[in-house]
Chain A
Amino acid sequence: MQTIAQSIGGEVITTKLAMKMEDTLQAFAVRAACFMGELEVPFSEEFDGHDFGATHVIAYVGDEPAGTVRVRWFQSFAMPERLAVIQRFRGHSIGHLLLERVRKLAESRGCSTLYAQALPGDVRYWERQGWRRLVAEEAGAGAKRIVAMIKAVDPSKPLPEFEAPEQLSLRHEPQLDASGLPLGTVSN
């Protein structure tokens, strides 16, 4: 188990769930800094339409928003994604702290499985935190190829048989509905 820093330069590290508009804006600002500012992800991809159907967790160093992760909830798993830590706060396991907060949150909701989609270059990071590949095969070529990773919410209980819909969960949620009803349609 990694040691998680409790403070950086005397500033206490804390996490909380976004409860207010301002909290959510902090989460979005951290993601914009990392994904748009550093990795040049376009706005329309970063803010993909799932943000208001998800739970946001924010990490603070003192008062300063330092990291964030978004969790989407499915019937058979909880899905942390958009994990970001501001550059100058990296190297203090803030990402680990955020994922641990997600794990506990999932536990409190009776969820047994965490599922994430990692870039091939990040698989080692997830593995160090107790995640494993859903499918054992190598990720293959292409830096944008996504590797499905899973982790048991309760480390003492082995994961149940489960197959994640690998392609499905990246899409906009309304598209998950196989009925073909357009977004916003009222149905009984």
Chain B
Amino acid sequence: MTVQKPGGMPAHPVITIKLASTSDEMMQCYALRAAVYMGEQNCPYWEEFDGNDYTATHIIMYVDGEPAGSMRLRWFQSFCKFERCVVLRRYRGLGVHHHLNAWCKDFARRKGYKRAYVHLQRRLLPMMEKEGFRRVDDRIFNFSDHEYYAVYCDLEPMEGAVKLDTDPLVTNRPEDRMDAPGILEQSAARGASNPHAPRVERLVN
């Protein structure tokens, strides 16, 4: 018999986290953010979808196959910024955000980042302190009707993190599966025929 937690969730949900790499997965991230920020926190659409979605990396988390959480990552020179972290209300209280945070930290480490940075709603500081984050300074700032701290966390260097001298085809791999050969490595087996479509004269009718 499956043990149920309060709220009808199984005690051992299957958690899957991946890079949002298709438009459908991106859509799932957007839907989760709309549900939490627009639906629960009254955030206006244009503040939630602030123009940075297409310069960012999105991570999607499934619980038992259903989209349950997501995170947006933006890449600066000296840190990775974790943003728009959501867990759908139904999936809260299971601690699944720990998995999401840990996954994103490893993702950033693999890219060679040494620091993660977050604009954190004040009420969530104790939660993120447990994740190893601490305040950058004593500033408190506000946007979208909430008060925030800037917090950061140092990341352990990772063996095999991407550097300039990393095998070029390793750098080309899907970023959430950098330990396995990617589709471009398979394509390398075709050799290099350097194909280019010939330039054709336009037909005049």
Contact = CB atoms under 8 A, between A and B. Distances in A.
Contacts of A30: 34, 38, 45
20 contacts: A28-B31, A28-B34, A30-B45, A32-B32, A32-B35, A34-B39, A36-B32, A36-B34, A36-B35, A36-B39, A37-B34, A37-B35, A37-B39, A37-B89, A40-B89, A42-B66, A43-B28, A46-B31, A64-B45, A65-B45
Contacts of B67: 43-44
Contacts of B32: 32, 36, 43
Contacts of A36: 31-32, 34-35, 39, 88
A144 interface: no
A29 to B, nearest CB: 4
A141 to B, nearest CB: 22
The 6 closest A-B pairs by CB, nearest first: A37-B39, A33-B39, A37-B35, A32-B34, A36-B35, A33-B38
Interface in B52-72: 66-67
Contact of B31 (A26, A38, A47, A87): A47
Interface of A: 25-26, 28-34, 36-38, 40, 42-44, 46-47, 63-65, 86-88
Given A40-B90, A64-B44, A65-B45, A32 B39 contact: yes
Contacts of A64: 44-46
A63 B36 CA distance: 21
A88 B43 CA distance: 10
Given A32-B32, A47-B27, A64-B44, A37 B66 contact: no
Given A65-B45, A88-B42, A28 B35 contact: no
Contact of B66 (A32, A43, A87): A43
Contacts of B31: 28-29, 32, 36, 43, 46-47
Contacts of B106: none
A31 to B, nearest CB: 8
